[in-house]
Amino acid sequence: MATMPNIRVNQERLWQSLMDMAKIGATEKGGSCRLALTDLDKQGRDLFVRWCKEAGCTVAVDRMGNIFARRPGRNPDLAPVVTGSHLDTQPTGGKFDGVYGVLAGLEVVRTLNDHGYETDAPIEVTVWTNEEGSRFAPSMTASGVFAGAYTEEYAHAIADDQGKTMGEELKRIGYLGDRPCGGQKFRAFFEAHIEQGPILEAEKRTIGVVIGAQGQRWFDVTITGQEAHAGTTPMPRRHDALLGAARLVDRINAIALAHAPHGVSTVGVLRVSPASRNTIPGKVHFTVDLRHPGDEALARMKDSLEAALSAVCGELGLAHELKQVVHTKPVVFDGDCVDAVRKAAGECGFGSMEIVSGAGHDACHINRVAPTGMIFVPCADGISHNEVESATPQDLAAGCDVLLRAMLERAVL
Ligand code: HGY
Ligand code: MN
Ligand code: MN
């Protein structure tokens, strides 16, 4: 390939775009709340599309609302080198989870424009719909459809707690595109993201060369007991669904500890009915998120969950229903893309280390259909999915410089 230009991104412009995007869905504690396919998600999307058009990109939207902003290259017949992430957030999310990967891609385009630098392959920046999986489960839905993990029909029919479906909401906010979701070839896909954990900060490294991501299994659990009077029902006669759920939450925590140091488990949602202070809870619904870098260990954790459900519900005379929502196997990213990230970090003079992602990312699905790599930068105290989530302008720019070089490695022949 031609010699790599020594161009660096504009740190202030990247930071300002992040702060401007953060004004949409800003929360009182300094975070972001733009749940997938809400009006606030639409506002964020519209701002991104406007910025891309101002940067000379053409913009396409597919049937899952994924956005593709394209900067032309010398040869339009070459498949694009693509980067991107997500704009939807957790309910108490931060300013950087997902957004950084999208706006780092835009900064790459803006920087190439500043220098009038023409690539051979086109460059594209994508926004993947519903990465978080908070309003609509599972997570990484639209990148999953793009990669063939889910059908469009399945994804369009996913409903939120109010019964609104993804298909209806895509149409309502004007992002039900006509391009089919999937089938487009990528020369390579890179995703920049904050680490969302404590490792890079603890090891004092600026760049995470992401070699893969751990597997995850999500479940919905329903425990059914018997509603009864809180005052008249003797303790031995009770079938208290919430007592069963409480014991299970502790057992689910113990399952992760039994698979230390890598196993993790979380009960994130728990709903009690009828939720009246003087009626013994008859029904409890809760979610389970199990993760492990090894798929066999993850399967054993699932087996332990099933055993705990039978044991606890048997003791208390409760019924239970376990539904697996998603099983995402551990991912190993493309060796050439990983090498491109490592090489770019070295050329930029940043300290780097290999790392396996604890979080799921759209890149995990795209890795099934295109050579894929990821770039991590540190976040303060490793905290994410929290309004205090923060990162430094310097680290964010460093990750973006590495992204630029890794992309040019594949876009310039
Ligand atoms: O759950 C995850 O790992 C990601 O934040 N959606
Ligand atoms: Mn994310
Ligand atoms: Mn997230």
Query: Do β-strands 264-266 and 283-292 pair in parallel, antiparallel, or remain unpaired?
Result: antiparallel
Taking Cα atoms as reference points, which of 15, 117, 21, 25 lies closest to residue 73?
117
Helix (H) or strand (E) holding 206: none
Over residues 79-103, the pLDDT tens digits come to: 999 999 999 999 999 999 999 999 9
Which atom in ligand 1 lies closest to the alpha carbon of residue 140? Answer: 6
pLDDT for 122 beyond 60:
yes
Name the DSSP class of 234: -
pLDDT for 6 beyond 90:
no
The pLDDT value recorded for residue 151 is 98
Please work out whether the CB of residue 289 comes within 6 Å of at least one atom of ligand 1: no
pLDDT for 149 beyond 70:
yes
Would you list the DSSP string of 307-323?
HHHHHHHHHHT-EEEEE
Please work out whether the CB of residue 139 comes within 6 Å of at least one atom of ligand 1: yes
Going from the Cα of 265 to the center of ligand 1, the distance in angstroms, rounded, reads 13
**Using CA positions, which residue lies closest to atom 4 of ligand 1?**
360
Amino acid at 24: I
Class of domain 11-214+330-411: alpha beta
The rounded mean pLDDT for the chain is: 97
Going from the Cα of 132 to the center of ligand 3, the distance in angstroms, rounded, reads 5
Query: Which is higher by pLDDT, 3 or 309?
Result: 309
Whole-angstrom distance, CA of residue 6 vs CA of residue 152: 42
Taking Cα atoms as reference points, which of 279, 281, 299 lies closest to residue 290?
299
To test the ligand 1 pocket, which listed residue (361, 365, 383) has its Cβ within 8 A of the most ligand atoms?
361
* Residues facing residue 127 across a β-bridge: 67, 85
Confidence at 3, pLDDT banded by 50, 70, 90: low
Over residues 160-195, the pLDDT tens digits come to: 999 999 999 999 999 999 999 999 999 999 999 999
The pLDDT value recorded for residue 5 is 73
Which atom in ligand 1 lies closest to the alpha carbon of residue 289? Answer: 1
Whole-angstrom distance, CA of residue 87 vs CA of residue 99: 5
Over residues 363-393, the pLDDT tens digits come to: 999 999 999 999 999 999 999 999 999 999 9
**Using CA positions, which residue lies closest to atom 6 of ligand 1?**
132
Please work out whether the CB of residue 88 comes within 6 Å of at least one atom of ligand 1: no
pLDDT for 55 beyond 80:
yes
Summarize the confidence of residues 30-34 as an average pLDDT: 98
Six-digit token string for 56 = 């000379």
Summarize the confidence of residues 310-338 as an average pLDDT: 98
Whole-angstrom distance, CA of residue 139 vs CA of residue 166: 12
What are the extents of the domains in the chain?
11-214+330-411, 215-328
Q: How many helices (H) and strands (E) does the chain have?
A: 12, 16
What CATH number does domain 215-328 carry, 3.40.50.300, 3.30.1330.10, 3.30.70.360, 3.40.50.720?
3.30.70.360
Cα dist from 261 to 120, 257, 320, 342, 357, whole Å:
45, 7, 29, 26, 15
Amino acid at 252: I
